[in-house]
Amino acid sequence: MPEQPLKQLTPTPAWRHPVLILLTLAVGIAVTAAVVWSISGDSTLLMLHIDGLAVTVWVFSSLITVVIGAYSRRYIDPSDGRERFLVRMLAFLITVWLLAAADHLAMLVGAWVSMVWLMVGFVRHDSTWGVAHRSHQYVLRWFALAAVGLVASSSALWWADVTHLSALDTTLSSIPQPVAWIIATGVILTAVIQGGLFPMQRWLVVSMSAPTPASALMHAGFVNAGAIIIIRTAPVLDHVGWALPMLAVLGATAAIMGGLFQQVTVDRKLQLAGSTSSQMGFMLLQLGMGLATAAVAHLMLHGWYKAARFLSIGDLDWLEREFEGYSKPRMSVVVLAVLLGTTLFVLLTRKLLTGGTGWLLVGFVVVMLARGALALERRPIPPVPRVGMVLGATVTGTGGYAMIYRIIDPAVTTATAGLDPVAVGPIHIAILAGFAAGGGATQLGIGRSSRRMYVWLVDQLQVPSNIWGATS
């Protein structure tokens, strides 16, 4: 896969990079804001509303960005525009902060447009490289469509005399039903494109021409912005009626398709693109079931995982080569891992299970645990270490997710009050059944065993030949 030809080098001391110092300072500011919020509660500043969700995103995004920034110092040569890259990264962090706390519609749209412009700019960091320029134009076209959705929904809110998102709960009754439909459609369109959900995943593939640190930032943080917009506009989505079930269907479909995409490519970055599409789908599935805190916990855990995967992708290539091959999975180990993970999840997220969809989420967790355990059980390593790896990964992943949920729940609950757990209906049961069937198909290797399916899946990862077809 084409990637900007940047050189690795011996890094200069961190103190010689003012931008890295500012990124580190941003972590301190975010943590201080979180402490102040925990003492004084929500506050309004100009066009911003600083609540628990905002400070949670601030702390998370600051930590992710400073880690990726430190990696960039070692990865990008000064002659390749390292300082320009770091300045853009700092500006991107600022726009994320503004988006997370945006209350006025103008601030929301302005912060989102600025954030997209900065992130898409990473794709053509080397403006002299033809592939980077063509990839930038391709990705920009997708986000022009996403911008149409966000601007349409914001304009509809403005027409209904709603200018502040914090007032949605009290002004909801004044929004006509057709206007609410426009708002819901625009928000869902924006979130689906930004998350790279099927069938809009191709921009994730094309954007891989960006430098590795930019890809890490994109997959660890940028794709999550759609979830923030959904949470902020949740009262309207809930009011429409069809929006949350539609979100759940789209999310579940993307989660299944992302897993199938990973089967038909050996390129590590394309596999990570499929993984991101799948995980963003699962996160939107959680939002569609009204489990906002669970979705925020998921995006944080996924962000750290995906940043680590991208920043260690060369080491992962070596590690995967060391463990090439196949072992027959032992179902007893898989069942033990599922029981252990499910028990841990239920014990650590007791509050989550008070609603009907909370128990439904346990069903999805069981499917994901089984898929993960089966994948690890197929690794060609000795039986005893393999058991330890499966159970260790189960405890770490499930426990980490549940603990993050418990930590952020007090901060996020108030901000996500407009997105209550929905009542379980036939559509949710159907989604769970489809999710389980899709997981089973993935484990059976249907993406590789069916020639027609294989060709179709490979085609979904292809981009126009005029983008990567030339070498200049």
How do residues 5-16 score in pLDDT, each as one tens digit? Answer: 445 455 555 556
Q: Which whole number is the average pLDDT over 159-166?
A: 90
Tokens, residue 131? 């592939």
- Return the pLDDT at 294: 85
Are the CB atoms for 469 and 463 separated by under 8 Å?
A: no
DSSP string computed for 211-266: -HHHHHHHHHTGGGHHHHHHHHTHHHHHHHSSHHHHHHHHHHHHHHHHHHHHHT--
Q: Which whole number is the average pLDDT over 170-183?
A: 88
**pLDDT(392) > 60:** yes
- Return the pLDDT at 351: 61
| 396 vs 427, higher pLDDT | 396
- Return the pLDDT at 354: 61
Q: Cβ of 87: how many Cβ atoms within 10 Å?
A: 15
> Which of the four pLDDT bands, split at 50, 70 and 90, describes residue 271?
confident
Residue type, 414: T
CA distance 191 to 131: 27
Are the CB atoms for 65 and 93 separated by under 8 Å?
A: yes
Q: Which whole number is the average pLDDT over 427-438?
A: 80
> Which of the four pLDDT bands, split at 50, 70 and 90, describes residue 471?
very low
- Return the pLDDT at 469: 55
- Return the pLDDT at 92: 94
Contacts of 152 (CB under 8 A, 6+ apart): 182, 185, 186
CA distance 165 to 362: 31
- Which residues partner with 404 through β-bridges? none
- Gap between the terminal Cα atoms of the chain: 14
pLDDT over 90 for what percent of the chain? 26
**pLDDT(129) > 70:** yes
Among 10-24, 62-76, 215-229, 422-436, name the one with the lowest average pLDDT: 10-24
**pLDDT(151) > 90:** yes
- Return the pLDDT at 309: 86
What is the per-residue pLDDT across 186-207, written as a single tens digit (0 to 9) for each? 999 999 999 999 888 889 888 8
Our CA angle for 285, 291, 292, nearest 5°, is: 95
| 143 vs 317, higher pLDDT | 143
**pLDDT(184) > 80:** yes
Q: Which whole number is the average pLDDT over 225-245?
A: 90
**pLDDT(1) > 60:** no
Residue type, 362: V
| 351 vs 116, higher pLDDT | 116
- Return the pLDDT at 197: 92
Contacts of 197 (CB under 8 A, 6+ apart): 250, 251, 253, 254, 277, 280, 281, 284
3-state secondary structure of 344: helix
| Summary mean pLDDT of the chain | 83
- Return the pLDDT at 355: 61
- Return the pLDDT at 81: 76
CA distance 219 to 249: 22
What is the per-residue pLDDT across 274-325, written as a single tens digit (0 to 9) for each? 889 999 998 998 898 888 888 898 889 889 888 888 888 765 554 455 555 5
- Return the pLDDT at 6: 47
- Return the pLDDT at 472: 46
Our CA angle for 240, 242, 244, nearest 5°, is: 90
> Which of the four pLDDT bands, split at 50, 70 and 90, describes residue 431?
confident
Tokens, residue 349? 């997220």
Q: Which whole number is the average pLDDT over 397-408?
A: 85
- Return the pLDDT at 448: 67
Q: Cβ of 433: how many Cβ atoms within 10 Å?
A: 11
**pLDDT(329) > 90:** no
What is the per-residue pLDDT across 14-47, written as a single tens digit (0 to 9) for each? 556 788 888 889 999 999 999 999 899 888 888 9
Q: Which of 15-24, 55-64, 129-138, 209-218 has the largest mean confidence?
A: 55-64
